[in-house]
Amino acid sequence: QKEVEQDPGPLSVPEGAIVSLNCTYSNSAFQYFMWYRQYSRKGPELLMYTYSSGNKEDGRFTAQVDKSSKYISLFIRDSQPSDSATYLCAMNGGGATNKLIFGTGTLLAVQP
């Protein structure tokens, strides 16, 4: 079993839709959860970062962590064509090294 599972997509939605991206994980020691966005031909850039369970909102983006279910989500409201990218979840336990475990990424296409 992979430590982090993420549906690779592709996910295609119309402009203005609410997008839900998800990851599940198996290691209960994970405490730090991140979402990265990667545009084509670019490196990943950090979108959201949460610690432990709960929600965090930043503009149109909301990150949600449910540690009891080992499930994290990223919601995008009022999606725009500029949101079209690959979204990677990443997490770690905050232990001795800063080793992030990544999901495979979900390719999102927002159609105008």
Partner 1 sequence: ETGVTQTPRHLVMGMTNKKSLKCEQHLGHNAMYWYKQSAKKPLELMFVYSLEERVENNSVPSRFSPECPNSSHLFLHLHTLQPEDSALYLCASSQDSVGPVKTQYFGPGTRLLVL
For partner 1, the binding residues (CB under 8 A) are 2, 4, 8, 32, 34, 36, 41-46, 49, 88, 90, 92, 94, 96-105
Q: Give the nearest distance from C-beta 92 to partner 1 in angstroms.
A: 6
64: which strand partners? 55, 73
- Nearer to partner 1 (CB atom), residue 21 or residue 34: 34
Q: Which is nearer to partner 1, 32 or 75 (CB)?
A: 32
In angstroms, what is the minimal distance from the CB of 47 to partner 1? Answer: 11
Residues 5, 96: Cα–Cα separation, whole Å: 24
For the chain, the distance separating the N- and C-terminal CA atoms, rounded to the nearest angstrom, is 37
Query: Smallest distance, Å, CB 112 to partner 1?
Result: 26
Would you say 79 or 89 has its CB closer to partner 1?
89
User: Which positions ≥6 away from 43 have C-beta within 8 Å?
Assistant: none
Ordered strands of the 54-58 beta sheet: 4-6, 19-25, 71-76, 61-66, 54-58
Q: How far is the CB of 58 from partner 1 (least distance, A)?
A: 14
Token pair of 8, please? 């690779």
Structure tokens at 4: 């982090």
- CB nearer to partner 1: give 33 or 79: 33
